[in-house]
Chain A
Amino acid sequence: MSDDTKKVQGANETEPTATSATTPMWLVGLLFVLFFGAAWTFDHRSGWFNKKVYPPYSSEDVVKHYQPPAEDLPPEYIRGKKLYEVCAACHQPNGLGSASVGAPPLADSEWVLAPGPNRIIRIALDGLSGPLKVKGQQYGSGVMTGFRPAFSDQQVADVLTYIRMSREWKHNASKVKPEQVKAVRDATADRSSNWTEAELLKVPEN
């Protein structure tokens, strides 16, 4: 320390000096044990720094026991859901359609939820143009292209199964089988234009 400080503190005070005194070893030991115990508890409660484990779960094994069981969905539904991405471009992932491109909704649509898939198979294969009434609402401007060359019978059946059974839209209509698609595909093999509402309404619902 400098001489200035000494003056301020007073001349009588002596400067404290560091001397060596032994730290009691039991204290070091106790602190070590306490620290170790705290760290162990902390790690134990957080699943040993596992990023998949957060309290109140204490380990990955426990987290595993709370995974919601997978839904019991048929394979064609799962494949169809993947294929629906193509449809979602116009009909939207939520199935509500898009007025700007003239795509009517699929969710709750009476065309989708008809007793049989006769008409929607035809729409999927050869498309649809012109005015269409869905859920009491008139849609006019849109044109849907056909997927006859693009999708196999199985693929058409899968995607129609998905839209008829979609859990998201609370649909619960029957599955569409590839044989049904094949029958329609063969019966309408010479078709070269989109369907219209008037033509489709002549086709029996199932």
Chain B
Amino acid sequence: MKSTATIFLAAFAAASFSWAGFVLAPQIQLGQLTQAKPTGSDNLYPAARPGLAAQGAEVYRSLGCVYCHSQQVRQESSHVDVMLNEIGTNAAKVAAIVSELNHPLRAAAGVQIGKITEVADVPAGEPLVARLRDAGAKADLKVVATGSDISRGWGIRQSVAQDYLFDHPVQLGTRRSGPDLSNAGSKPAEWHLLHLYNPTIVENSTMPPYPFLFETRKKTGNGSPDALKVKTADGYEVVPTEAARALVAYLRSLRVDAPLYEAPVTVAQVVAPTSTNNAATNTPAK
């Protein structure tokens, strides 16, 4: 065989070139990522997964959820909404400023609280907010991420590397036979359990049921407090197994909504639940 050295060198060059591009460069770019503080918060993001949720990630992996569900919200663009929150005492002046704006959202009948116009970015909106504040109104800017994934309600901003810091392996997914699960944590645990047992609670769902994650057993006494609210034969109940609990803990931990520097977005203020019937909302879930 002739030119052994050339072939070897060429193969080596090709391999090292792609290694540099696919392994080394991303490592240099993102390898040093650590937990960081989101905009306007003192809590580090992302939070490490608690034990049960970490086990759930393995259940998610073993069940092959990744074949039908992605965990990656895409974003196509951003803009900034100018929000009028309070008119204040000088309504006429505020109305004059608002009437200068050429935007269909402006109500013909007069000034209304809410979004008054849309601008390209924050510096473009600041002079307007300053004028409104001078006129005694309360106004601010709201950074909005847009895109088809976001309008589907899969998230409020795109996913970035920081969001996957504690994912080993990262289960991005390539197909979307089901919805994206980046923000699956926004649904309550009870819903997730019911849905795993019987996915048809979502209309037109093509997801297969996972009955083996649940145990149908004879009721003893009043039955388990964890029993699913599903129809069963008399005297029987359906309770989630440890794997189901872990999987749901993992799904509940999925949340991509912290406003990061590299993925800016204005997050709606967290409002404390107004329900007053039970102050013990922080007792651990059973």
Contact = CB atoms under 8 A, between A and B. Distances in A.
Interface stretch (A63-71, A120-128, A173-181, A183-191): A63-71
Contacts of A98: 279-280, 282-283
Interface stretch (A4-12, A46-54, A145-153): A46-54
A44 interface: no
B274 A108 contact: yes
A54 B30 CA distance: 12
A97 B263 CA distance: 33
A147 B121 CA distance: 46
Contacts of A105: 276, 279
Interface string B246-286: 00000000000001011111100111111011111111000
A100 B269 CA distance: 28
A32 interface: no
B272 A168 contact: yes
A56 B80 CA distance: 14
Interface centre among B78, B121, B262, B266 (most CB of A within 10 A): B262
Contact of A167 (B25, B78, B262, B269): B269
Interface residues of A, number: 40
B161 A68 contact: no
B265 to A, nearest CB: 7
A137 B78 CA distance: 46
B270 A66 contact: no
Given A67-B261, A68-B143, A96 B272 contact: yes
Contacts of A108: 272, 274, 276
Contacts of B40: 68, 70-71
Contacts of A71: 40, 140
B272 A99 contact: no
Contacts of B273: 96
A62 B120 CA distance: 11
A18 B3 contact: yes
Contacts of B3: 18
A57 B280 CA distance: 44
B171 interface: no
Contacts of A99: 278-280, 283
Contacts of B39: 67-68
B83 to A, nearest CB: 11
Interface string B110-128: 0000000000011100100
B121 A65 contact: yes
B142 interface: yes
A118 B266 CA distance: 36
B121 A66 contact: yes
A65 B276 contact: no
A98 B283 CA distance: 8
Interface string A97-110: 11110011101100
A136 B276 contact: yes
B264 A54 contact: no
Interface centre among B2, B40, B277, B278 (most CB of A within 10 A): B40
B63 interface: no
Given A51-B262, A67-B39, A97 B121 contact: no
Given A67-B261, A168-B272, 10 more contacts: A51-B33, A63-B264, A65-B122, A67-B122, A67-B143, A68-B122, A68-B266, A94-B281, A96-B273, A170-B269
Q: Which 10 A-B pairs have the closest CB atoms?
A: A99-B280, A65-B121, A107-B272, A66-B264, A68-B266, A135-B276, A97-B279, A52-B262, A169-B272, A49-B29
Interface of B: 2-3, 25, 28-30, 33, 39-40, 42, 75-78, 80, 121-123, 126, 140-143, 158, 160-161, 259, 261-266, 269-274, 276-283
